[in-house]
Amino acid sequence: MAIKFEITRECRQTAARRGELHTAHGLIQTPAFMPVGTQGTVKALISGELEEMGTGLILSNCYHLFLRPGVEIIARHGGLHRFMNWRGAILTDSGGFQIFSLGGLRKLDDRGVAFTSHIDGTTHFLTPERVTRLQNMLGSDIAMVLDQCPPYPAGYEEVSTAVRRTAIWARRSKEAHLNQNQALFGIVQGGIFEDLRRQSAAGLAEMDFDGYAIGGLSVGEPKNLMYETLQTTVPELPPDKVHYLMGVGSPDALLEAVRWGIDIFDCVLPTRIARNGRVMTSRGYLPIRNSLYATDLSPLDEACSCPVCINYSRAYIRHLFSAGEILGLRLTTYHNLFYLARLMKEIREAISEDRFEQYYRKMSPRLTKLYGGVV
């Protein structure tokens, strides 16, 4: 068995649950947030820094690695773990979202997707079978099926077509999946349409994947619609399998999604905003580039125990950004990922100690006020 998932504690008042995800590259305590290492690197950080903050699972992207440096080169290194010197577990996304974001640069039908590389203009054709084989070669712990992710807003017929095609591709992906040491997850689509979400989830459940992702959310819809969709979709997923919400990383949304039974998350939000000088703190976002912090000797967040907050001041980090020094964005990236790792640890402890509902009632209004504007 490529992975083993055990639910160790369930909240009595909500669908929140704590679990253990066993992989060949370590144990991941869930609920957990995955930092995004799209191209084989979590931008600005080295593997050891991720390990020391407790990260056990990261995400990389098959589409981007296929285009550069090429999956064959990675395979010659012995797989993605050795290529990027990462001892933890890896989940590889199929790249469906990135391909469909290309707009006029791609064309799709039931066979697969033809697209033009955003890097050098070369043309490629990817099928569900080929994407699965590429991930087999990468050697990730968890691979994702190729899916069709419709935009928001999209009409019922367009989303219905995406659901049908995603189901066809999911079955073909499973038939092509040959790496017994690698788990394969299906992806539920359906937009904000309750009947299509139920249809997609039911069809994928019959195929018996190792885990189930909810895709097509956090693509521009209001958060209340995302939450409503989760409430109707998660109960349709096999309860003993991993539930993965794709592309969500704001603190308020993480807490809300855990309440509805989500186990793992990924998002570029914490690292992307860090590189622009936007820091997550216990008091909300802190724009470190602001001149207000030029002489501020306090840490980024006085409530944080990460090495950045222990050792560096706001004034120093602002100076690094003003001077164009790379260290500045490294420090803010580390801090933001540490902030989310600590939040997820607090959530896990609350579930284990049978006080998640109280924790949720206390933290949800606060996090919504501080972070409610960004998914």
pLDDT in tens, 301-350: 999 999 999 999 999 999 999 999 999 999 999 999 999 999 999 999 99
In a domain, 19, yes or no: no
pLDDT at 100: 78
Whether the pLDDT of residue 145 is over 50: the answer is: yes
pLDDT at 375: 46
Considering the domain architecture, whether residues 261 and 298 belong to the same structural domain is answered as no
Give the residue from 267, 286, 321 where a domain finishes. Answer: 267
In a domain, 6, yes or no: no
pLDDT at 19: 98
Q: What is the pLDDT of residues 124-140, one digit of tens each?
A: 999 999 999 999 999 99
CA angle 207, 209, 212 (to 5 degrees): 115
Considering the domain architecture, whether residues 186 and 313 belong to the same structural domain is answered as no
Considering the domain architecture, whether residues 138 and 166 belong to the same structural domain is answered as yes
Q: What is the pLDDT of residues 149-161, one digit of tens each?
A: 999 999 999 999 9
Considering the domain architecture, whether residues 124 and 192 belong to the same structural domain is answered as yes
Strands 32-34 and 211-214: unpaired
In a domain, 24, yes or no: no
Which is it for the CA torsion 210, 20, 26, 275, positive or negative? positive
In a domain, 78, yes or no: yes
Considering the domain architecture, whether residues 250 and 292 belong to the same structural domain is answered as no
- Domain region containing 339: 276-371
Give the residue from 234, 267, 300 where a domain finishes. Answer: 267
Query: What is the residue-averaged pLDDT of the chain?
Result: 97
Considering the domain architecture, whether residues 240 and 338 belong to the same structural domain is answered as no
In total, the chain counts a number of residues equal to 375
Considering the domain architecture, whether residues 234 and 288 belong to the same structural domain is answered as no
Helices and strands (H and E) in the chain: how many: 15, 16
Q: What is the pLDDT of residues 254-283, one digit of tens each?
A: 999 999 999 999 999 999 999 999 999 999
**Which DSSP letter does residue 36 get?**
B
Q: Are 53 and 46 in contact (CB under 8 A)?
A: no
Q: Are 246 and 220 in contact (CB under 8 A)?
A: no
Considering the domain architecture, whether residues 185 and 57 belong to the same structural domain is answered as yes
pLDDT at 83: 98
Torsion of CA 332, 301, 370, 338, to 10 degrees: 50
Residue among 58, 20, 2, 34 nearest 242 (CA): 20
* % residues pLDDT > 90 (the chain): 96
Grade residue 105 by pLDDT with cuts at 50, 70 and 90.
confident
**What's the domain count of the chain?**
2
Which residues are known catalytic residues? 93, 266
Greater confidence (190 vs 97) lies with: 190
pLDDT, average across residues 17-29: 98
Considering the domain architecture, whether residues 100 and 174 belong to the same structural domain is answered as yes
